[in-house]
Amino acid sequence: MSAEVVVGVNGIGKAYQIYQRPQDRLKQFVWPRLQRAIGTPARNYYRDFWAVRNMTFELRRGETVGIIGRNGSGKSTLLQLICGTLTPTEGTVEVRGRVAALLELGSGFNPEFTGRENVYLNAAILGLTPSQIKDKYDEIVAFADIGDFIEQPVKTYSSGMMVRLAFAVIAHVDADLLVIDEALSVGDAIFTHKCMRWLRSFQERGSLLFVSHDTASVQGLCDRAIWLDQGACRTQGAAKDVTEAYLKYSFQQMGGEAIELRELDGKREAVSDDAPAVSYQAHISAEPNVTDARGWNTGHAEVVSVLLENVSSPDAGHFEGGEIVRVRIRAKAHVAIDRPILGFLLRDRLGQDLFGENTLPVTNLAPKPIPAGGNAEAMFQFRLPHLPNGHYELMASIAEGDLYNHVQHHWLHDAVLVQVSSSNVRYGLVGLPFQHVDMRVVDDR
């Protein structure tokens, strides 16, 4: 296995023994031994069911690979084979480095132990020494953010709390490979954002295997994807190509035999007709979160308030896509800041950057120094895009310097929490204000 390969899966397969009737299990236990003892050929009372078969692939250092497929297609089995919690019936798996896995909910936890005891147990299983665990314990607990429940038995946890604790542990064990099985979907929006942010920073140094039914997550997070179908690899390749093929297959399955989805070559004539505009009503609320926001600071300057407000009614607290809004960021300089830059960025629940801006376009040529103890306010006015339903975070920061060389003095990941509901935008990251959508039957036979 080359030095760059973190996981090498070679012709791996896992077969389970399936018994037609309960008594066959007993027969299988007794007869083959007896038959061997008397020297007659032993017969089996089960059939092999291959949950995974003939899988071969490599995961390279720094790569993120997504695994998609229908229920029962073998995704969890494959991950367990890679993590070593299942033994392959055939083939080999080689893994280089420390592997941390978030598999089935609660697996790896002893329900009778408290959160604290489970942190020690899990981190030790993952190879940390007791003193390393002691050093990281406070960080793990802060990341999990489950309050006093950390001293309660894990059997009293909600599924969200369980995943918080499990993720907090795997995020602090310096793993080379992370294996994550769908588990994040039970966390709440704020925690999912936090995990996605953490995963994106982890991707810069480690490798990730990620199972999800959500093709958008796989496209957003993964370089490559593997589509499993009935235990076998149906296709693997660039995440975009594989997820598109899977999506087409899923729609085909939903439509049944009555519908045939055929590939289009993209060379069709444009249709241009007058039609009514699409209405994109949605409820968007924005909750300022500066005091509870996560991030970092140098102590030189501080973002003191961030508001997303409707220009026509700033106190309303809610608005719609397509309206003119503004982001107002107020910052205080604790020492003199010669070349301040204030900026913001809106991110979706997967941590994908949707849009943002900073003051460099106006301050790069004409810096506006803030004296020590002074304040500055930046305002960005724009037409709010139409957004799909979901939770978003508005990041805000104050930095010092220029485009290429700057120090971020105060960075708040979630300075404003934005929630969009009842949106008509169903596809993509943002919706466009379509001017015409129409359909007519054209009789050109």
Ligand X SMILES: Nc1ncnc2c1ncn2[C@@H]1O[C@H](COP(=O)(O)OP(=O)(O)OP(=O)(O)O)[C@@H](O)[C@H]1O
CB of 70 to ligand X, least distance (A): 7
Residue numbers of the site for ligand X (CB under 6 A)?
16, 49, 51, 69, 71-77
CB of 95 to ligand X, least distance (A): 18
Separation of CA 443 from chain center: 47
CB of 26 to ligand X, least distance (A): 17
Give the count of beta carbons closer than 10 Å to the beta carbon of residue 173.
20
- Report the residue number, 13 or 351, with the smaller CB distance to ligand X: 13
Between CA 193 and CA 177 the distance in angstroms is 21
Task: Give the angle subtended at the CA of 199 by the CAs of 198 and 204, to the nearest 5°.
Answer: 100
- Report the residue number, 76 or 397, with the smaller CB distance to ligand X: 76
CB of 233 to ligand X, least distance (A): 13
Please give the DSSP secondary-structure letter assigned to residue 219: H
- Report the residue number, 51 or 286, with the smaller CB distance to ligand X: 51
How many angstroms separate the Cα of 145 from the Cα of each of 13, 158, 164, 196? 39, 13, 8, 16
CB of 12 to ligand X, least distance (A): 13
- Report the residue number, 14 or 328, with the smaller CB distance to ligand X: 14
Give the count of beta carbons closer than 10 Å to the beta carbon of residue 369.
14
The residue whose two tokens read 């089960």 is 46
* 172 in Cβ contact with 136 (< 8 Å): yes
CB of 231 to ligand X, least distance (A): 7
- Report the residue number, 16 or 434, with the smaller CB distance to ligand X: 16
CB of 211 to ligand X, least distance (A): 7
418 sits in which H/E element? strand 406-421
- Report the residue number, 51 or 95, with the smaller CB distance to ligand X: 51
Strand, helix or coil for residue 186: helix
- Report the residue number, 211 or 360, with the smaller CB distance to ligand X: 211
Between CA 121 and CA 154 the distance in angstroms is 13
* 159 in Cβ contact with 167 (< 8 Å): no
